[in-house]
Structure 1
Amino acid sequence: MNCFATEDCTCRPKRRRCYTLGNLKGLALQIRLFTLRQIKAATNNFDAANKIGEGGFGSVYKGFLLDGTTIAVKQLSSKSQQGNNEFLTEIGTISTLQHPHLVKLYGCCIEGNQLLLVYEYMENNSLARALFGPEEFQLKLNWWTRHKICVGIARGLAYLHEESRLKIVHRDIKATNVLLDKDLNPKISDFGLAKLDEEDKTHISTKIAGTYGYMAPEYAMHGYLTDKADIYSFGVVALEVVNGRSNTSSQRTEECFNLLDWAHFLKEGENLIELVDPRLGSHFNKEEALALIKIALMCTNVTPALRPSMSSVVSMLEGKVAVPVLDSAGAIMTQEKIEAMRKHFRGDEHQAVGENISKSMSIEGPWTGTALSASGNDQYPVLLDTDYWHKTE
């Protein structure tokens, strides 16, 4: 019988625990089981020419099924940080999630020593590459498309938090984990960081998994994890969509060390409209832009309880509910918190930055579905330097 072995397996020396299709019965899978022969045929035997990604979880290959469907195949790496039990649990979890704004899992393959996931292929790569990737890969996203993308991300998160059978906290919402299909519809990827609410009633996470620049302060510094952490991350992504630049890129002044800080600075001067991407010129809806920025600032409130739910965010974005007047109390990141965040992420002589926090800004290649690495760097890391920042002004 074929198995996927782990280190304590007795049937094969120095291999990993045996996994067979029998192990999947309790997961109530609603997905297709592919054979290894089918996957090899689809990817031309994992031809290097079809390799489109490499992450902490393993390699990603583009492939084609016999019916012409384009797929993205993620191959488990033998040195992956993702354990096999976690992988099987991941399959069971993802298979229950179906939503227009979540990347679709077509199926999996567990055969011999291969453990593979098969996802839908996303033609337009990641939101990060579209907005602030290398110039040759950027997409000219008009205001209507940008607003649509924010609404889609919000709907996807509202489903994960409030509508799905399992309440799920994603933990790593960022522009590289939002993928765009051929029609530029957004789909949330990377559920390797998904957190089932019922698994941890204390909401205290002992292993921080996320990305610098998107993590809520209470989670980054204290490990306190609720769906409010995702809402904070959404706020950062929304600001990036409006501005067209990364939150973690170099900023304009010493006082504003990231995009979010700059947004608060502009808010104090009642100049929020200056945050809008200059590449849009005058071709945007000023009322919608201001509403989106204000919603983003509400989502990134330093007090988790003051952040709106994602369903409320959807209602505000769709114009069904008015956007409240922002209260400056608690909305601005204090200098004390700024210094604490800087120390936490950058480290000092007494505190090194944790290895489980990804600091790189990445742009995935002609990309795929989800990246399942729990703490590894993204595919194709590209650090955006000061020259890039000024060139896009």
Structure 2
Amino acid sequence: MMFSKSLAFAIPFLLPLVLATITDEEFVFNGFSDSSGWDLQGSAVMLKNGILSLGTTNAGIVQPKSHAFYPSPFQMRNLTDSSIFSFSATFAFSILPSDCDESPNSLYRYSNTDDGITFVIAPNTSFTNVTSYGSFGLLDPNNNGKLSNHLVSIELDIRYNREFGDIDDNHVGININSLNSSVSSPAGYYTDDTVSDLHPLRLSSGKEMQVWIDYDQRLMQLNVSLAPIPEPKPKHSLLSHTIDLSQVLLDYMYVGFSSSSWDSYSGFILGCSFKMNGEPASLDYSKLPRVNTTQPVTSRCRPASQPINVLSISIIAFSTFVFLGSAGTLILLVPIILVVRRCYRYREIREDWELEFGPHRFSYKDLFHATDGFKDKQLLGTGGFGKVYKGLLQLSKQEVAVKVMSHDSKQGMKEFVAEVVSMGRLRHRNLVQLLGYCRRKGELLLVYEYMPNGSLDKHLYNLDPEKPSSGWALRFEIIKGVASGLFYLHEEWEQVVIHRDVKASNVLLDGEMNGRLGDFGLARLHDHGVEAHTTCVAGTRGYISPELARLGKATKATDVFAFGSFILEVACGRRPVGVNSHGEPQLLVDFVLKFWQRDLIVCMMDPRLGEEYVMEEAKLVLKLGLLCSHPSPVNRPSMRLVMQYLCGDTPFPEMPDAYLNIRSMSELHDNEIASGEYDLQYTSVQTSISSLSGGR
């Protein structure tokens, strides 16, 4: 009895010592295996190649969270005086779009994280109460910010979420008991001892990167650094937050990773290291598993053939055979059937008024043979207005690109073809030449000269890390080339040509990688000094100006607006319109404006460029993109002035007053009623610019 009482009295004092014996002080993993012993929950899984994958679906069922924790807790404080210990961690990761490889045998096919990755220190490994998507799998909204959470997390966030006060869709944040960051910064790193220009990184680029996390209990300082592998740990931290974690951390805490599980991005941990009261062991890059992305495996289904007409001919032939009841007669009918089928295959629409356009009219038969019957193997791309096929003209041996579009021959076809033929006379080194057209029932075919290096957007959004994206020098020359082409269309040719569809996918690269503006299927002509008469909205979302969306009137200024979106896209490596976590449209111009306001405009440069860009050229392009994207058409520069800025003939104004002309934007908003989805675009831009009314 005496012994039992003594033991009971001693247990509260012995328990910390017992726990201390079963906890660890450090770990290091250069890759993982099934026997690593990590506590995996939700959608987390160890892949065969040694990668810890966060967000993998189970039998196609996406779960809302994904957790991976080291199995033993760490003693976070001195149990005698309750003081917090210092700690440090580092880990290597990669985040990339989940459609990078859709092949059935891909290791990454079902690995998806929608909001990014967090390094987390938690009081336990159970998050069974978390049911919300888009919360890193850590907290539901009703628990967000509570002191009882006892959570410290470092977020690598790839989604803009206004509810949590995110600064953008590509940032690093320090979160304390909350999904709202106490401090955050655009993802990037510094390469010198002082805070100078931040070298931006795109978290979801698929590149392998490393994070360092250090907490100094004496200074109560929590520092976070980020750099691409194999760059060393930056001397200056990306984030530095003064906080007393003794009010947050319990005596024993678990260390691990967490994310939500969705269907847009794949998150991978390649290796990690953690240590109490000291520097963590360095990761051995030679031992880390690699995330080998491949080109997307597309599975095109050949469009169903149209057997009705051939079947009808066959039925007629069979009926005739039965009716005549003679094999000899059938033999005579076979050539007739073949001729009928041949005529049906190549039949076109030809009207008397087209005789004057004879030299510019291609026969459907020639285009059919040039493209090998418009087979999928000849397909160059598919857009909102049709498919484009590669072809080789049999007689001239000229390579061409044939765009097949649907059309209604009853509505203005004569005028449209007349403009197409007129534009066939355009000659400029930065324009793709339109060679001619062909009309078939329900189809209009436009024939262009072939550009061997494809469209610019395929180079901008090439997600294979083994294939470098286009460098800055090339991008800047392409921007100047497209500007020169638009200047020719607007002011130098005999008529004014409004392109109406300026965008990266319509800029093609010839054999010498010169940028050429192509696809004149939507273009319209009018005489100099005369206003255009187009009254319908045409173009691509994100490139359409507010006044075009409201009034349907295409002008030179609407082309300039699209050019502004285009050059921001080229510089930033981002599409003009994205979608936030609420499914709402997010404009690239809004993000650039926000970073311009904070004097961090170069942080919007495509991180794949690294440091290989000229700072002054980059700033010029980004600011020019903002100016060209001004919501008020009267405040946009002409293409002549754009060329002068780009060529250095005219200095770009440090603080363009026109861009801060809030009154003109208010008039636009008050006098015109925006419609449909483009009202979102106008309002978003107006709100962002209004926030700059203080000027910078």
> How many angstroms apart in 2 are the aligned matches of 1:332 and 1:277?
29
- SS at structure 1 position matched to 2:400: strand
Decide whether aligned partners of structure 1 residues 300 and 74 sit closer, same or farther in structure 2, where only a CA change above 3 A counts. closer
> How many angstroms apart in 2 are the aligned matches of 1:79 and 1:260?
36
The answer to whether the aligner puts 1:346 opposite 2:677 as a matched pair is yes
> How many angstroms apart in 1 are the aligned matches of 2:612 and 2:381?
35
The answer to whether the aligner puts 1:227 opposite 2:575 as a matched pair is no
The answer to whether the aligner puts 1:65 opposite 2:393 as a matched pair is yes
Aligned counterpart in structure 2 of residue 23 of structure 1, from 326, 336, 353: 353
Identify the residue that residue 46 of structure 1 maps to in structure 2.
374
Decide whether aligned partners of structure 1 residues 188 and 138 sit closer, same or farther in structure 2, where only a CA change above 3 A counts. farther
Structure 1 runs not aligned, ≥5 long: 1-15, 354-393
Counterpart code for 2:677: R
> How many angstroms apart in 2 are the aligned matches of 1:82 and 1:139?
46
Aligned counterpart in structure 1 of residue 615 of structure 2, from 269, 286, 291: 286
**In terms of mean alpha carbon deviation, does 96-105 or 70-79 score higher?**
70-79
Counterpart code for 2:373: N
The answer to whether the aligner puts 1:121 opposite 2:121 as a matched pair is no
> How many angstroms apart in 1 are the aligned matches of 2:594 and 2:406?
44
1:297: how far off? 1.7
> How many angstroms apart in 2 are the aligned matches of 1:26 and 1:171?
27
Identify the residue that residue 461 of structure 2 maps to in structure 1.
132
**Contact 1:302/1:330 (<8 A) preserved:** no
Counterpart code for 2:350: Y
Structure 2 runs not aligned, ≥5 long: 1-346, 682-696
**Contact 1:256/1:265 (<8 A) preserved:** no
Identify the residue that residue 436 of structure 2 maps to in structure 1.
107
Decide whether aligned partners of structure 1 residues 175 and 108 sit closer, same or farther in structure 2, where only a CA change above 3 A counts. same
> How many angstroms apart in 2 are the aligned matches of 1:291 and 1:104?
30
**Contact 2:439/2:445 (<8 A) preserved:** yes
1:115: how far off? 5.5
- SS at structure 1 position matched to 2:448: strand
The answer to whether the aligner puts 1:141 opposite 2:467 as a matched pair is no
Number of aligned positions between the proteins: 332
Identify the residue that residue 176 of structure 1 maps to in structure 2.
505
- SS at structure 2 position matched to 1:103: coil
1:111: how far off? 8.2
The answer to whether the aligner puts 1:150 opposite 2:479 as a matched pair is yes
1:288: how far off? 0.8
1:74: how far off? 2.8
Counterpart code for 1:23: W
> How many angstroms apart in 1 are the aligned matches of 2:415 and 2:424?
14
Structure of larger gyration radius: 2
- SS at structure 1 position matched to 2:391: strand
CA RMSD of aligned residues (A): 4.0
The answer to whether the aligner puts 1:273 opposite 2:602 as a matched pair is yes
Q: Deviations over 1:176-214 (max 9, x none)?
A: 221222322111122222122349956564311122111
- 1:232-251 paired onto structure 2 within 5 Å: 232-250=561-579
**In terms of mean alpha carbon deviation, does 75-84 or 192-201 score higher?**
75-84
> How many angstroms apart in 2 are the aligned matches of 1:84 and 1:313?
34
Counterpart code for 2:497: I
> How many angstroms apart in 2 are the aligned matches of 1:76 and 1:329?
40
- SS at structure 2 position matched to 1:322: coil
Give the TM-score taking structure 1 as reference length: 0.71
Counterpart code for 2:353: N
**Contact 2:645/2:652 (<8 A) preserved:** yes
Higher relative contact order (CA 8 A, sep 6+): 1
Decide whether aligned partners of structure 1 residues 251 and 18 sit closer, same or farther in structure 2, where only a CA change above 3 A counts. closer
- SS at structure 1 position matched to 2:446: strand
Q: Deviations over 1:255-287 (max 9, x none)?
A: 993210111111212221111111111111001
- 1:155-234 paired onto structure 2 within 5 Å: 155-198=484-527, 205-234=534-563
1:301: how far off? 1.9
1:232: how far off? 1.0
Decide whether aligned partners of structure 1 residues 41 and 322 sit closer, same or farther in structure 2, where only a CA change above 3 A counts. same
Q: Deviations over 1:36-90 (max 9, x none)?
A: 4433332223334323344565443211134543211234546689863244223
Decide whether aligned partners of structure 1 residues 114 and 203 sit closer, same or farther in structure 2, where only a CA change above 3 A counts. closer
> How many angstroms apart in 1 are the aligned matches of 2:412 and 2:556?
24
Identity %: 35
The answer to whether the aligner puts 1:315 opposite 2:644 as a matched pair is yes
Give the TM-score taking structure 2 as reference length: 0.42
Counterpart code for 1:38: D
